[in-house]
Structure 1
């Protein structure tokens, strides 16, 4: 598959079939991820794969909780929150055979001194984000679907995801990626803005 095709086909998949994802495929995803640029060559990322059913169920519950926090934060009415619960608990939105949680190790850095704490953190998150994009594009090539889940970053939820991953407070969760074979044919959406709208030449 050409890169242009993978980019065009990548879309957020929220509903997955029950078909399992092989360990070999998961390793291919992570191999693609770690080819991403990494600030100062630190490679201070870690990919925690949730494949065990019990761990997946716990993580799924945290995603559901995070979605509800998100809906309430934007002050959506209760009927919309009830529909969200239906999509999650009855229709299985975000329920996947594999979840990959991407963390950074905040202790691994290049520049000494507290004055560089913020920029080091930003660089690490950017590196992990680029790794996630590589992973998602590789998933397209393998016929897999993915979606970026950011609602697990709410503080009280992020802490529980870390505990579930067996990591301490030195690690920061950049995102959780559900992975699986799409339940339905993925339909990439057109972007609202074109190249002309978002590009400035100087």
Structure 2
């Protein structure tokens, strides 16, 4: 598969089949993820694979809780909230055979001094985000679907995800990535803006 094909076919998949994802495929995803650029060469990322049914159930419930908080923050009407609840809990939206939690270790840094805390944090999150993109593009090549979940970062939820992962407060959750074979044929969406609309040459 050409890189352009993977980039153009990548789309957010929210419904997955029950077909298991082989461990070999998961390791290929992680292998691609760690080829991403990493600030100061620190490689301070950690990928936690949630695959037991018990842990996945708990994580799926936390995703549902995060989605509720997200839409409550924008005052989504009650009837739409109920529709969302049905999609997640009854129709299986975001229910996947594997979830990959992408964390970064806040203790691993390059610049000493508290004045660099924020900058080091930003660099670490950027490094993890680039790793996630590599992982998602590799998933396209392998016929797998993915979606980025950020709502697990709401206060009170992120801590519970870390607890499920067996990690302490030294780790920061950058995102949760459901992974699985798409339930239906993925349909990549067109971008509202063209490259010409978001570029400035100086």
TM-score of the pair, normalised by structure 1: 1.00
Task: Give the whole-Å Cα distance in 1 for the aligned partners of 2:47 and 2:196.
Answer: 36
Q: Which residue is equivalent to 1:171? A: 171
Task: Give the whole-Å Cα distance in 2 for the aligned partners of 1:94 and 1:74.
Answer: 21
The root-mean-square deviation of aligned C-alpha atoms, in Å, is 0.3
Task: Give the whole-Å Cα distance in 2 for the aligned partners of 1:119 and 1:74.
Answer: 30
Task: Give the whole-Å Cα distance in 2 for the aligned partners of 1:156 and 1:80.
Answer: 24
Question: Are residues 1:132 and 2:145 paired?
Answer: no
1:141-195 deviation digits (Å, cap 9, x = unpaired): 0000000000000011000000000000000000000000000000000000001
Task: Give the whole-Å Cα distance in 1 for the aligned partners of 2:196 and 2:67.
Answer: 33
Deviation at 1:90, TM superposition (A): 1.0
Q: Which residue is equivalent to 1:51? A: 51
Task: Give the whole-Å Cα distance in 2 for the aligned partners of 1:183 and 1:25.
Answer: 18
Runs (5+) with no aligned partner, structure 2? none
TM-score of the pair, normalised by structure 2: 1.00
Task: Give the whole-Å Cα distance in 2 for the aligned partners of 1:90 and 1:160.
Answer: 23
Runs (5+) with no aligned partner, structure 1? none
Deviation at 1:135, TM superposition (A): 0.1
Question: Are residues 1:147 and 2:147 paired?
Answer: yes
Task: Give the whole-Å Cα distance in 2 for the aligned partners of 1:3 and 1:107.
Answer: 34
Write out aligned runs for 1:56-135 (5 A).
56-135=56-135
Deviation at 1:69, TM superposition (A): 0.4
Give the secondary-structure state (helix, strand or coil) at the position aligned to 1:31.
helix
Task: Give the whole-Å Cα distance in 2 for the aligned partners of 1:89 and 1:135.
Answer: 27
Give the secondary-structure state (helix, strand or coil) at the position aligned to 2:103.
strand
Counting matched residue pairs gives 202
Give the secondary-structure state (helix, strand or coil) at the position aligned to 1:156.
coil
Give the secondary-structure state (helix, strand or coil) at the position aligned to 2:54.
helix
Task: Give the whole-Å Cα distance in 2 for the aligned partners of 1:89 and 1:169.
Answer: 29
